[in-house]
């Protein structure tokens, strides 16, 4: 076996080898004139190589991590896209559910504000017939005989209550509105009421005659629910207020607000006009709906 001294001598010899100095000389090939020289050792060369390797690796890492070059790394882009796709799918599902709720809500509002064609479309004859046939099959074995007295009583009752069933709770609804401290209505226009609220003939608002091109003002703070054109009532704008209250403004010449805009009480939302087939001149048709029931605006405002 080698002695300790021999091992030490070998270590010294190896260290001496890498520490030995060498001169690197650059000569002119034609004149052999020395142009540049430098003293180096193997240890210096190893240190320089190690240093440059660290610099190159660090620079490459920083360049890839802070630039778009990382997208060229196999597997990185796929994982990133999967994460982004999963997040987008979750957002899309949430937005789809929210849009379905909004569409259902707006469809109901349009049915209230538009003519009966939307209601006819929603409750089509085929649908009603299918439901009727299904129910008839369930109760086909039941015999019901209606006496003449029952028929007369039913006719009298229907004639007396056909206009009261829907609006018999109006007084209670008016009390709800007047009791609310934040219901301070702002007159939409200055003018004269020419056609009063009459739900019996399906006139669910009041007609106010005023000068043409006058601004129509929001009666309360709220968000624009509908802002579009209809054949019968022209340019229509509806605003959703607090506590299930909706105000509607019809026959406008120009609409100044879009769906989703927030408006303050007294803010201009449209221009008075006579748009629509059933308009007879420049005026504003103004409606107030509370919890799905038409209310008489004249009870909240003075014109």
Q: Parse the chain into domains and list their residue ranges.
A: 4-64, 84-125, 171-299
The tens digit of pLDDT for each residue in 131-178 reads 445 544 544 554 545 556 556 655 654 555 444 434 444 555 566 565
The tens digit of pLDDT for each residue in 200-247 reads 988 999 999 998 889 999 999 999 999 999 888 899 999 999 888 999
Q: How far is CA 94 from CA 98, 103, 107, 246, 260, in A?
A: 6, 14, 20, 27, 19
214 phi, psi to nearest 5 deg? -75, 150
User: In the CATH scheme, what is the code of domain 171-299?
Assistant: 2.70.70.10
Can you list the pairs that 106-110 forms with residues at least 24 positions away whose Cβ atoms lie under 8 Å? 106/225, 106/226, 109/225, 109/226, 109/238, 109/246, 110/226
Residue with tokens 């014109």: 303
Q: How far is CA 253 from CA 131, 160, 194, 226, 276, in A?
A: 43, 41, 19, 16, 10
pTM (predicted TM-score): 0.47
């Amino acid at each position: 076996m080698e002695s300790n001294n021999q091992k030490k001598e070998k270590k010294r010899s190896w260290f001496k080898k890498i520490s030995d100095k060498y001169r690197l000389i650059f000569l002119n090939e034609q004149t052999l004139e020395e142009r540049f020289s430098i003293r180096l050792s193997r240890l210096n060369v190893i240190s320089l190589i190690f240093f440059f390797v660290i610099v190159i690796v660090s620079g490459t890492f920083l360049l890839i991590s802070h630039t778009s070059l990382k997208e060229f790394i196999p597997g990185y882009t796929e994982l990133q896209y999967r994460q982004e796709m999963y997040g987008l799918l979750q957002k899309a599902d949430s937005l789809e559910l929210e849009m379905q709720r909004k569409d259902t809500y707006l469809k109901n509002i349009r049915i209230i504000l538009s003519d009966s064609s939307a209601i006819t479309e929603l409750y089509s004859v085929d649908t009603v017939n299918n439901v009727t046939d299904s129910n008839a099959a369930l109760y086909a074995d039941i015999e019901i005989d209606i006496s003449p007295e029952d028929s007369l009583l039913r006719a009298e009752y229907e004639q007396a209550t056909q206009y009261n069933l829907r609006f018999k709770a109006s007084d209670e609804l008016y009390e709800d509105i007047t009791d609310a401290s934040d219901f301070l209505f702002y007159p939409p226009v200055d003018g004269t009421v020419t056609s009063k609220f009459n739900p019996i003939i399906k006139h669910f608002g009041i007609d106010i005659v005023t000068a043409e091109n006058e601004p129509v003002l929001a009666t309360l703070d709220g968000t624009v629910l509908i802002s579009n054109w209809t054949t019968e009532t022209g340019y229509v704008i509806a605003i959703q207020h607090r506590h299930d209250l909706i105000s509607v403004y019809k026959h406008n010449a120009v609409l100044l607000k879009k769906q989703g805009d927030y408006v303050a009480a007294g803010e201009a939302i449209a221009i008075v006009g006579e748009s629509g087939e059933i308009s007879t001149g420049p005026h504003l048709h103004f409606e107030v709906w509370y919890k799905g029931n038409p209310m008489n605006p004249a009870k909240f405002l003075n014109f």
